[in-house]
Each structure stands twice: as C-alpha cells, then as structure tokens.
Structure 1
Amino acid sequence: MITGELKSQVDSVWNAFWTGGISNPLEIIEQITYLLFLKRLDDNQIAAERKASRTGKSVENPVFPEGADKFGRAYQDMRWSKFKNFDKTEMFTVFSESIFPFLREELTRQSDGSDSTYTHHMKDARFTITKDHLLQKAVDLIDGIPMDDRDTKGDLYEYMLSKIATAGTNGQFRTPRHIIKLLVAMRDPKPGEAICDPASGTCGFLMAAGEHLREHNPEMLLDTAQRAFFNNEQFHGFDFDSTMLRIGAMNLLLHGIENPVIENRDSLADLHSTDEEKYDVILANPPFAGSLDSENVSKELLKTVKTKKTELLFLALFLRLLKPGGRAAVIVPDGVLFGSSKAHMDLRRELVEGQQLEAVVKLPAGVFKPYAGVSTAVLFFTRTNSGGTENVWFYDVASDGFSLDDKRTPLESSDLPDVLERWKALRGEFGEERTAAELSRQRTERSFVVPKVEIAENGYDLSINRYKELQYEKVEHRVPEDIIADIEHLDEEIAKGLAELKGILA
C-alpha cells in the first residue's frame, strides 16, 4: 500500500499536468507510463550488467548499447540513471528528441531478444508534454518509487488509474477494484489456467487475477514451467483503444506479469477461430454500447445469437471462447436478466439449459458512479455444452462498502465479504452442514437458491425481484372507536381552553 505522502506527490504532479494543459486523465497516465517504462528498462540493464560482471561475460542484446542515435546523442545518456540528473531544459530536449523516438520506433524487442507486449504497443504512441517543468516533476516523482517493490509500484499505478473514475471524463468505465477482487475470488483462477478479458481496458481483471494467483499459490513462481506460463501465456486481453492497451500492458508489467498477451482487437468483429474454446476463465465487464451495425459483428457470433445488442453479443462471445468446463464471471446490465426480445430469451435459455448457470449477484445501482448510474448484475456460469443447471444462487447486494451517490464515500460495512463467504459455503468449502444451510435459506434473506424448473416456468427471467419474497412487518393499529374518543376528548379540551381565553379578554 502506498503512503499518504506518495499519494500527495502524485496529486501534486496530477494538478501540475492539469494546469499545464493536459487535463485528460488517460493522457496523463500515458505520459507517466512512458517514464515508468524507461526506468524499468534501465533497472533491467543494470541487473544484467551486474550479472555479467559476476560471471565475467558481456551483456547480451543490451537495451542501451554503446554508440549514438541519429542526433549524435549517446544511448548511455538515455538511461534513466543518467537522464534523471539533467536540468529540466536538457531533460526535455533529450526525451523529446531522442528517448521517446527510441522507445517508440527502435525498441521493438526486450533486452533478451524476445517479443515484448509493451514495446509492440509503443509504436503509435505520442509524447504530448510541452513544458519542461512538467516533465521534471514527473521524473522526480517516479525516481522516488522503489521499483523493486512490486506492491508499491503496482499500488501507485492503481492509484493513478483511480483518477479516471474521479475525473469522470471520456466515458471510461473503470470497474471498481473491490468489485473486481470479489469476482476473481469467486471464480478462483488456478495455476496453469488461461485467463481472458475480451474487453480489457486497463487490465484490472487480469491484474487482480495475477495477484490472486500469487497470494493463493506462493510456490507457483518457483517452478520454471509455471513461471514461464504465468509471465507469457496465462493472461490474455483484447481492446481496440491503443492508449488503453499501453496503459493496461504497463499495469500488468508493474504488477509482475512480464509479457502478457495484450492485443489490439475488436472482440465482436474479430472472432479468431484459434481463440474458440481456448480459455479456462473469463473475467469481464464488457461495454454496454447499445446497438451495433450487424456488418461490424462477426458472422459466427450472429449464428449464436441474432442481435445488435453489445451485451448479448459479448455473452455469446464468452461462450465461444471458453473451453468446455471453462468458467466465467461477467458484469451485465439488468436488461439482460429480464429482456423480452427473442435474443434475450434465447441467450438466457442457453445459459440455463445448455450450460451451467451458477449464480446471479445483483449489484447496487450506484456501483459505477460518478460516471454512470446503470443497474448491473454479475452472471457466473460454466460452459458444459450439456446443461448442468440445477439451482441458481441469487444474492442481492445492498452495500458494496461505499455510499451510492457521486461521492462514493467509504462506509463501515459492506456485503461483499458475506457474498464470498456464502458462495464458498454453497460450494462446499466449509462442509456439508454449511452447504445445506445455504441451500435452505428463505427467499426473504439476502441470498437464496431457485430451482431451474421454476426459472424455466418464468420464461428464464433472472431478475432477483421475480423470486425474492418481501417480508412485511406486522403493525397493530388501535381500534377506530378509541381513536375517535381521543379526538373528542381533545376537542373538549380545546373548547374549554377557548372559553377560558374569551373570559380573560372580556
């Protein structure tokens, strides 16, 4: 966790960018990301040089070789350890004329010669800082970050990403991290499982999945094969916004995932046959963009569900991407749960009858404030291609630990720990007695189960209000005669008081 002092430094730099003319939060993060990447490259080369010194060998494929660029600037001057000490004027000149073109155009491989996700996405990057004092402020901030501490640098980047929400610009839907953490814990990804987010954005789901794997499998990265899979093959993210791809890739890099598969792709248009039945876990909050032109949608998806609704198309996509036995946790707008169109009903029927729908967790309407008040729920399902739904577990979340207004002030209590505990109980992690207790909860409670047959009888309606029973508190009222007697008594006292008042005034 980063300190209040470091947060204050970030806020100071943020305000400086804002007043200096860069007010788009994504643009600020992008510019700082370039500096973080430069520092990391120098740190990696320093480590390689120390290793070479111990072994008596030379550094293979150094990022910063001997020699100079076309401006005559020595590559060694571009290293963070030297660049950070320049005065602000020289610092700006060196970065804009030499370092940034070097990062964007020439650096297409990592120091070990392997393909690099991040450098791939640097090709169309833009350097938009126009004032030397802004660059110096950002450099001073980053130089104080302990880059060898994964938690600190990761938390710092997450704090910067939180600015997207507070700024509320560009319609960027950044899923709250406490919601992401809950979904990841409930789906519980395992070592060796391929994890995908086809609408990855800043890669929050993939980052949280990586942290979950580290926390629950501490020996995982000690195994050479598992470590290689974790760093190069386990995490897959798709997005068609190049800025988000750079930010997302850096988010994973700073959280210790070296080379994730982050691709520039319109997931609904570009359904690759090589991706079908490829992933063990899908975690996503796809965009709810309304309707798309059918010409821009994969024909394979339209065979699954004939619709222009993006939320339905993404669900159809997830079913195609999952392996048999693969499981998903995806956030959907409430309309998916009860929409009456043929596409809505067909897709819900497929989830219930053709696959295994496990749970519907209703989220409070204010979860995405301040930039959206949309009502949402989370669908948990497993691809089986042969059914398997017996009961569907519902949970009605009243509080996610924050106020549901635009301020989103932290509260003392939250339903989210209870959601996870009851989910684990339902799945048998606390023994048969706890499982039986969860299955037998009344429908007046926060969570309960509904048999598949009842859901089918209700047209596969998955809205929790269809099944939840309201408990009314019995209130006993006095009999009318007693109330009338009291009114008459009061009238008598009022009349008596008025008579006394008249007597005084006479």
Structure 2
Amino acid sequence: MAANLSGLVKKLQDIMRNDPGINGDAQRIEQIIWALFLKVYDAKEDDWEMEEDDYRSILPEQYRWRSWAHDDGKGTALTGTELLDFVNELFAALSTLPITPDMPRRKRIVRTMFEETNQYMKDGVLLRQVINVIDDINLESYENMHALGDIYETILKELQSAGRAGEFYTPRAVTDFMAKRIEPHLGEKMADFACGTGGFLVSWLRELRKQVSTPDDIALWNASIYGIEKKQFPYMLAITNLLLHDIDNPNIDHGNSLLHDVLDYTEKDQFDKILMNPPYGGSEKKDVMRHFPDDLRDSETADLFMSVILYRLKAGGRAAVVLPDGFLFGTDNTKVNIKKKLLAECDLHTIIRLPGSVFAPYTPITTNLLFFDRTHPTERTWIYRLDMPEGYKHFSKTKPMRLEHFAPVDAWWDDRREIIEDGFPKAKCYTAEEIAAGGYNLDLCGFPHEEEEILEPMELIQKYQEQRKALNDDIDKILARITAKLEENA
C-alpha cells in the first residue's frame, strides 16, 4: 500500500500542472486536500454507520463521495463542464450546512472545512482524473488508513517549498522529540494554540498511543488533544491529518488564539501539557495587543503566544515550545517582562539550542526548544547546544533533520553535566540569579563562529535562493510592522 501511495502526490501534481486555473504548489495541495478529506470522511462514515444503528450523515446523499466521485468505467461518471458545475454546487452546499452547538464535532467539521476553501481547477476532464486517482486509494483496512497517514507526511513536507504555506510545517523529528520529552500520560489534555497542520498533535498521539490497551484508554487517548488554527489552509490539513490518525472527533477550532483577553482565562481554560511552535516574525495590530496586560503587550507574534502559554498552563503542567534566537537575547521591555514572568511562575529547566537550517528552506532563523514546568520558580536552567550532525554542512529539503540527530541530547538529558568544547560551553547550568544579573539574556551556550563552507555550484545556488526568499519574507514582515505602527499613530 505504501509503495502505491508514495507516488500519489507527484501523480496528482502532474495532472494539475496542465490546468490553467491552478498556480503553484500551494493551490495544488489545497486542491488535493479537499478531495482527500471527502474521501477519508466517506471511509470514516462507513465505520460510524457500522458502529451506530442510528447514524445519519450531515451530508446530503448526493454530495457524499460514494454518490458522485466513483467512476465505474461505463461512461456515467460526471466529467468536464458537468463535473465542474457539480463541484461548485457541492462547495456552496457544504459551506452552508446547518449546524448546531450540540452537534458532534465530527459533523460540524464538514462545514468549517469548506467555508473558506477554494476549488481552483477549470478543466473538468483533468478534475475527473484527480478525483479518480484519489478514489482509487483503498481505505477499507486499518493498515491502509495508517499507511496513508504516513504518506500524508509527504504532502506536509511539500509545504516547505510551497511559499505561503511553509510556516505551517514543523519537522517531524522536532515534534516527535518534544512530544517524547514532555512525557504524555493518559488522562492528560494537551494543547497547541497555533497548531498549523497538526504535527505536534499527531506526535503527542503517537507517543501516548503506547499506553493504550483498553477501550477506556482509547476514549482517553481520543479526547487528549486540543488545537486552534487561524488560517483555513493549515486548518484543513490538520483536520484531515487527525482523521487519518484515528481521531474521529478532531478537537480543532478555526480561530485566533490571540483574540481573547488572557486575564479572563480560568482553570477550566488550562491544560496539562502544551506543545507549540508559535508563529514568529509576525506583527500583530492594536486590536490584538489590547487582549494582553500593558507589561506584556507587544506586536511580535511569538511574544504574545508565550504569554498565552503562561496563562493557559495548569499548575503542575509542562510545556515545550519552539522559539527563535530573538526571544533569548531580546532585551526590550516586553521580552524581559515575559522572561521574568516565565522564571517567576515556572521552572525553566532546559533550553536546547538547535543547529541552523532545521527549518530550511522556509527560514534560516536559528531556533531553540524551551522546556518548562508550572511547579515552582526557576532555580537553575540547563542550556545544551545541539551541533550539526557529523557529515552535515546544513539541513535541506532532501536532507532534513531526523529523530536520531537528537541522540546526543537523549544521552545527556538524564545525566546532566557541563560540557566545554574548544573553550566554548556546549552544556552549562545557570542559576536564576545569574540569568537575572545578565538582564534576562538567555543567549548562552551559543554556536562558535564557523568558517565559511565551500559548496558545489548547484548547492550554492539553492542556498542563495533560500536566503533570498527568507530575506524577502523578513523584509515583508518588517514593513508590515512599520505599517502597523503608523496606523496606530494615525
């Protein structure tokens, strides 16, 4: 099954490259996702109908995948202009399905999936070919569904080179390592307040699944996650991702975590565990910043999400968060206030400095993993620098970071000791007093200066293309922040 699916994305993209209505990988992937969602949802409905005598689909019968998508080869399947007209009608119907608050989430997600989704294709014959490829996927067994869940990773990895979509994908090696180190337990609730394509949710579920042995355990496992995602495209990806990983009621909201007064959160809004890679480099407007206390108010997206995490982590809870270098060394008032709050209310016990290019080709920004528990104020913080693995000059789309690259951290984690290499600290413990005396600058155990590497011509071209894209993205973000400031003062 996996072998047959491995070429699925390429086959579909090759078909859609001939369609005049589609421009770029991001639109091609969005096209794949809405059709794949309907195919997977139809397979799930087969299961639900077998399990529940009174199950009724939220989909009108004519819009269920089984009713219109299959091509029996007898010339009766919709195609051409007729298919395009029907799909446009389907989109209009599904985006306005009647829903109620007490309706099961597995039904409500159909409407939210289609409310802001686009159908770009203009060639109905090519659309029929796309539908046929997806309809041929056999999802009748658990093994096949599981295999497609793994192949789905290839779709998400494509996002790294899909322009606007790259920000939604965190490498699986990073999400798996963080999920393991946060130590999931059955009965706990985990949240990701900017869940993107659902990578952290899936890594948590994969790690927690090892503890499942009874039907009651399965119910706890299924109800253990919560996500919220602001943008429609990654929201679609996350919902489909969870359906493929056996979550029948994907508990993901389509919304913005920053549009809620953090002071209004109560214990019922808090979670046992939080796993996140907050969007960073973004600029938020005044109507977003007003939801935060004056001393924590900033236009930097990552800073605001850190505040949300601090208000929504339960007493005794644990968090693991990806943050850029700018948070570590930032000395502006807001960043310092957030770090003071973090150290005063939580035990920031570990920071892992990641090597550069982990998120290539989307961004060259160097990132860090912060692990903290809401148990007691920080007394000391261990900082560990994870160097580039032997034989690697940099990570790339074809040579991404893998879970085994975290082996040095795993070996060090439970038997912590100071490590000095070539006169530079690679691992060191700092007291809270030392951190405060340094102005809350956490930019410690950094990477020594490296000599410039000499690359092959094609590698050099790719590197410069990646750097140019990242620089353009940074310039766009800076311009957006300047514009936001001007609008505030207007």
Structure 2 counterpart of 1:309: 300
Per-residue CA deviations over 1:73-97 (Å, capped at 9, x if unaligned) read: 6979626557897546178258515
**Structure-1 separation of matches of 2:180 and 2:138:** 28
Residues 1:159 and 2:149 are matched in the alignment: no
Contact 1:180 1:208 in 2 (8 A): yes
Among all aligned residue pairs of Structure 1 and Structure 2, give the percentage whose two residues are the same amino acid. Answer: 28
Distance 2:7 2:44 in 1: 28
Q: Deviations over 1:322-354 (max 9, x none)?
A: 111111111111111111222222222222233
Q: What is the CA deviation profile of residues 40-61 of structure 1, one whole-angstrom value per residue up to 9, with x for unaligned ones?
A: 3433444456668xxxxx6542
Matches for 1:386-425 after TM superposition, within 5 Å: 386-387=376-377, 389-399=378-388, 404=394, 406-409=396-399, 415-423=405-413, 425=414
Please, which runs of 5 or more residues in structure 1 have no aligned partner? Answer: 53-57, 67-72, 426-434, 471-506
2:111 and 2:278 mapped to 1: Cα distance?
A: 24
Q: Give secondary structure in 2 for the equivalent of 1:105.
A: coil
Contact 1:45 1:63 in 2 (8 A): no
Secondary structure at the counterpart of residue 105 of structure 2: coil
1:325 is paired with a residue of what secondary structure? strand
Pick which of 134-143 and 198-207 moved more: 134-143
Residues 342-371 of structure 1 show CA distances to partners (whole Å, capped at 9, x for unaligned) of 222222222223321011111122112112
- From 124, 130, 136, give the equivalent of 1:132: 124
1:202 CA drift (Å): 0.9
Aligned structure 1 segments of 4 or more residues deviating by more than 6 angstroms: 74-77, 82-85
User: Of 211, 218, 222, which aligns to 2:212?
Assistant: 218
**TM-score when normalising by structure 2:** 0.78
Q: 1:421: Cα distance to partner?
A: 3.4
User: What pairs with 1:193-342 in structure 2 (closer than 5 Å)?
Assistant: 193-214=188-209, 216-219=210-213, 222-224=214-216, 226-231=217-222, 233-271=223-261, 273=264, 278-299=270-291, 301-303=292-294, 305-342=296-333
Q: Which has the larger radius of gyration?
A: 1
CA apart distance, 1:403 = 5.0
Secondary structure at 2:363 match in 1: coil
Matches within 5 A, 1:477-492: none
Q: Residue 17 of structure 1: CA displacement?
A: 1.7
Are 1:43 and 2:43 matched, yes or no?
yes
Q: How does 1:420-431 map to 2 (within 5 A)?
A: 420-423=410-413, 425=414
Shift of 1:463: 1.2
Q: Find out whether 1:439 has 2:417 as its counterpart.
A: yes
- What secondary structure, in the 3-state scheme, does the structure 2 residue paired with 1:129 have? coil
Is 1:365 equivalent to 2:343 in the alignment? no
Note if contact 1:361-1:379 (Cα within 8 Å) is conserved in structure 2. Answer: yes
Once the 2 structures are TM-superposed, how far is the Cα of residue 290 of structure 1 from its aligned partner?
4.3
2 CA distance for matches of 1:74 and 1:162? 30
Instruction: Output the CA distance in 1 between the equivalents of 2:256 and 2:327.
Output: 22
Aligned residues: 436
| In structure 1, distance between residues paired with 2:402 and 2:94 | 46
Q: 1:141 to 1:280 in 2, by over 3 A?
A: same
Instruction: Tell me, in whole angstroms, the C-alpha distance in 1 between the residues paired with 2:212 and 2:111.
Output: 31
Question: In angstroms, what is the RMSD of aligned CA positions?
Answer: 3.4
Cα deviation, residue 315, structure 1: 0.9
User: Which residue is 2:442 aligned to?
Assistant: 462
- Asked whether 1:356 is paired with 2:347, we answer yes
The residue number in structure 2 matching 1:55 is none
Distance (Å, rounded) in 1 between the aligned partners of 2:402 and 2:290:
46
Task: State the distance in 1 between where 2:401 and 2:256 align.
Answer: 38
C-alpha distance in structure 2 between counterparts of 1:135 and 1:25, whole Å:
16
Change (3 A) 1:92 1:195: same
Q: Distance in 2 between matches of 1:264 and 1:174?
A: 17
Deviations 1:208-235 (CA, angstroms, capped at 9, x unpaired): 1111111x2131xx233x433433x422
Give how far 1:246 is off. 1.8
Deviates more, 1:453-462 or 1:201-210: 453-462
- CA–CA distance in structure 1, aligned partners of residues 55 and 49 of structure 2: 9
Q: Which amino acid aligns with 1:417?
A: A
Determine which of 325, 337, 340 is the counterpart of 1:346.
337
- Read off the aligned partner of 2:271 and give its amino acid letter: Y
Residues 78 and 94 in structure 1, CA contact (< 8 A), matched pair in contact too: no
CA contact (8 A) 1:203 1:252 kept: yes
Q: 2:189–2:225: 8 Å Cα contact kept in structure 1?
A: yes
1:380 — aligned with what? Answer: 371
Task: Quote the Cα distance in structure 2 between the aligned partners of 1:127 and 1:306.
Answer: 39
Structure 2 unmatched ranges of 5 or more: 450-490
Query: Is the contact made by 1:369 and 1:408 (CA closer than 8 Å) also made in structure 2?
Result: no
- Quick check: 1:196–1:283 contact (8 Å CA) kept in 2? yes
C-alpha distance after superposition, 1:445-495 (max 9, x if no partner): 6433233333233222211247x999xxxxxxxxxxxxxxxxxxxxxxxxx
Report the alpha carbon displacement of residue 190 of structure 1 after superposing the two structures with TM.
Answer: 1.6
Match of 1:497 in 2: none
Q: In 2, are the aligned partners of 1:42 and 1:80 still within 8 Å (CA)?
A: no
Shift in alpha-carbon separation, 1:441–1:45, aligned structure 2, 3 A: closer
- Tell me by how many angstroms 1:163 deviates: 0.8
